[in-house]
Structure 1
Amino acid sequence: MPGERTTAKQEKNGPTHVQGRTGKGGAMKLGRKPVLAGLAVLALAGVLVWWWAHERVYPGTDDAYVEAHVLTVVPEVGGRIAELAVDENDHVAAGDLLFRIDDRALKAAVDQARARADAALQSAGAAAREVAAAEAELDSARAARREAEADYLRQEGLFRRNDVSQSALDSALAARDRAQAEETAAAQQLARAQASLGDEGDRNAGVREALAALQMAEIDLDHATVTAPESGWIANIDLRPGSVVTAGQPLFSLVGDAEWWIEANFKETDLTRIRPGQPAAIGIDLCPALDLEGRVASVGPGAGAVFSLLPAQNATGNWVKVTRRIPVRIALDPVPEAARFCLKAGASATATVDTTAAPGP
């Protein structure tokens, strides 16, 4: 029938028309996919090239740490802690009292050394007086010898003229010999007195020894009071008043806050362009929002493994090449007072060096 044929024709043409449209859209979508994939690959390649160029010009590392001078406080004299002025995490300024050792015995040692120095000075003075007396005795003996010699010569002349007897001449000769012997004895006594005296005044060996002992006792007394050599923070203290310490015993640490730097370990492949004086951007993990600046102070002379107690031995059949890291010291620019809380010795940091800048002096 005509109506049925028309319907059948529509049904036949309808699905054919829909199928044609679907096939055309699928072909367009399939054509776009390679283009999008290519663009994505190009974008990724561009990012990688940019990242490579950036890392080459601005090498960075997160193997970096905040460093400061850490002083170990060690007493130079032993004794009982009489006064303790600091505790853990306290901040001290240069010259502030840290602790004081009981100094009564040290004061007694100073008094004893001073008494010995006075005795040495007195002994040197007595020896000087002995020398003066010996010199006077020698002068007297020398004058007596001259007088005895003159008398002997006079008696000898008179004896030749038979004006005096032999006994008178013999008496004059004996007197001369005694005078010569007394002069010799006086000279020997003077030599002994001078040897006992040594140098005069403070140049005298005994006096110098006694004065040196006095100075050492006074130094020990001064060492009983221990003050901060620089400003910083107290750490690792386990000390109480009444504790007994010995000379040379490490007591606690003082982390100085006057100078801070970053110890950044860069890969050896990143050191090609790094030079002292170049600026660097610093980040502190403790304060992520804080941006610090600094300059490369120095580049280490060798990898860290070289200076370890047991350096690695690579002369084996299973050797695998590993990129070494070289320490680079970055001196921080002056840090604002409000940001000093973020500086903790040993804290993790990041460092990026601007190698486009000319090296500093």
Structure 2
Amino acid sequence: LAAKVEGVPVHRLLGETRRTAIPAYASLLRIGSPDNITTLLSKIDALSGATGSSVSTSGVITLNTGTVSNLSVSSSNSSAFAALGFTSTITKNRNGGGTAGTGGVIGNDIATFTKESISGGAVTAYNAAGTPVNLQLRWAKTDSASLGAGHSDSWNLFYQTDPNATGTTVGWVNTGQAFTFASDGSLTTPAGSGITINNVSVSGQSLGSVAFNISSGGLTQYASTSGAVTINTITQNGYAAGQLRSVAVNNSGLVVGTFSNGQNLNLAQVSLSHFNGTNYLKAMDGGAYAATEQSGAAIDGASGSISGSSLEGSNTDIADEFTKLIVTQQAYSANTKVITTANSMVQDLLNVLR
């Protein structure tokens, strides 16, 4: 990361650089009378292991220290140190990204963070209770291939944990994963399909662990003339709470419930069974059958299929049922004759008595 300071002396530059540290010693710089600012920056790079420190034609100095600790500049040679304008050891804490090492951007630094990062879009996610949560994303570049050997284009993804953060309250959280890109703009790291972001919380609403999945070619670093991120599609698979509206059985035997939030969930499954003595099942009302001692217990795993939203066709033996109907009709006719004969006998008896 580079810090740019314009229009200040070198000693002020070293004292105000942010996010980095230099174990510099003036006695090793070997500054000569013909040395200029560019030469000084090259010698500082050699000491710190960094590359790319420079001064532009407009006087803007970019200093890369190559480390992620706080800045500390000191020397055992007080005369040489004083020649640079230093009267004592110079220290400067890392700023601009929140407290060192926490991976968060505090409220005091959000304005700077917003200027030095780009929007990554937003998506409405849902927690375990079905509460909608507005998840805002931003990308911050942490390294650049333009700095030379050992550097690559690298970005970190941040999400907004507190939209109203002020002071030292954390407003944005770094997911902790470096997204690295090759020279052709393709993603090289992470190598898998995505990352898992643990303990995600937004405005007091916990989302738990969120899987951030990236499809093949879904995240690239192509040049943009506007300098803004181009967002094609961000989707999520959560959903709000819903009420059960209807139940149906599909052709696989699954009992599917349809909810008011548009989700369909499998609630149960109808299993198929067979019996060793099928003909000995006891017929029940409603077209159902019950197992008997002769039929044996139900055996799971029968072959067959289930037709959802369908009525079963009649399984009645027409010839057998007609035979039973004729027998019943004849029995009814015979009983009618018996009743008629009995009635005539009673009438005759009454007439004799008269």
Could you say whether these structures have the same fold, taking a TM-score greater than 0.5 normalized by the shorter chain as the test? no
Greater fraction of residues in helix: 1
Structure with higher Rg: it is 1
Higher relative contact order (CA 8 A, sep 6+): 1
Greater fraction of residues in strand: 2
TM-score (norm 1): 0.17
